[in-house]
Amino acid sequence: MTIASATQLICFLVLASTLVLGSIGVVLLPNIVYSAFLLGGVFLSVAGLYLLLNASFVAAAQVLVYVGAVNVLILFAIMLVNKKEDLSAIPGLAVRKILSGLVCAGLFALLVRVAFTTPWALPGPVPVGEEATIRIGEHLFSDYLLPFELASVLLLMAMIGAIVLARRDVFSTDVITGEPADQGLIEKSRTPLLLEKPALEKTP
């Protein structure tokens, strides 16, 4: 075994074990903040696996999109709403845990079966290495154009929806309660400290 292949094997084992242990931790840890940070670690080890597969562009994109954007947003959401409160005990928690455990185990068994019965073509196609960036670009602008554009339309819809939900004053009625929206009232309920102060005069 050469130095390069030994390094590759060690890297694969370390990355795979962090990936598996990390994702188990994401699901099982009671502290949601730990789960979110572990999720970042899981994304990073997936990027490492991509690197081992000679797909450096995909690895960098994985870090940028999943760690830099998705995970940071999850953390943001958790930290902005993270109130210390005691949750009321859910009835039948043990039964629920057992049921979801069974569903997960079944899914896992199914996946293992698929992995072992599929006739994988080994060794796979030759890695394109640095050429990958160009290939991905060509595919995105030819045969994968429609899925790519559909994904961007989906993201645009999500963005507009988020803006509408955040700014209830853009409609004459409140989208959630159905009552007529009053900009001043919304401002006051958002910032109760300003309740006592007179409303600012609007210039015509």
Binding site for another protein (CB under 8 A): 2-3, 33, 37, 40, 44, 56-57, 60-61, 63-64, 67-69, 71-72, 75-76, 79-80, 129-130, 133
Q: What is the spatial distance between Cα 23 and Cα 17, in angstroms, rounded to a whole number?
A: 10
Closer residue to another protein, CB minimum distance, 78 or 174: 78
Asked if residues 187 and 193 have their Cβ atoms less than 8 Å apart, the reply is: no
CB of 185 to another protein, least distance (A): 22
DSSP 8-class letter at 182: -
CB of 176 to another protein, least distance (A): 25
Closer residue to another protein, CB minimum distance, 79 or 154: 79
Chain-centre distance for alpha carbon 52 = 22
Closer residue to another protein, CB minimum distance, 19 or 57: 57
* Amino acid letter for position 71: N
CB of 76 to another protein, least distance (A): 6
CB of 60 to another protein, least distance (A): 4
Closer residue to another protein, CB minimum distance, 84 or 196: 84
Phi-psi region of 126 (alpha: psi -120 to 50; beta: other; left: phi over 0): beta
Asked if residues 173 and 180 have their Cβ atoms less than 8 Å apart, the reply is: yes
CB of 69 to another protein, least distance (A): 7
Q: What is the spatial distance between Cα 171 and Cα 176, in angstroms, rounded to a whole number?
A: 11
Sign for the CA dihedral angle at 116, 120, 126, 128 comes to negative
Closer residue to another protein, CB minimum distance, 19 or 39: 39
